[in-house]
Amino acid sequence: MGVSGQGLGKDRMFITFYKDYGAYLKAMQVTRQLPFIDVDTLDSFLVDLTDKNQYRPLSMSRVSKYILSQAEAAANQIPERNSAAKKTATRKQ
């Protein structure tokens, strides 16, 4: 999964999953051979999803629930903003 963004001098992030560290190393070898990849700026952050000592285990359902809750909160705020703007416009007339 790849997404655009900004921060830490980067403009793109890829979230990938590998069976083990060997599979990760193989994927990195292939990635470094791609002509449009600047290997000097390539960084990685590895998370062992099988580690039982994680503070809060990473799961896609947890990420999905967070995204949905943020979207619902934003959707609930939009009508309030629109109604406040209409009231202000009505008063000025």
Rounded Cα–Cα distance for residues 80 and 83 (Å): 5
pTM summary value: 0.52
Q: How confident is the model at residue 49 (pLDDT cuts 50, 70, 90)?
A: confident
pLDDT > 70: what percent of the chain? 83
Tens-digit pLDDT profile for residues 6-31:
888 888 888 888 888 999 899 888 88
H-type alpha helices, 5-59 = 21-32
Residue 57 confidence (pLDDT) above 70: yes
Rounded Cα–Cα distance for residues 23 and 35 (Å): 21
Rounded Cα–Cα distance for residues 76 and 69 (Å): 11
Tokens of 11: 């403009």
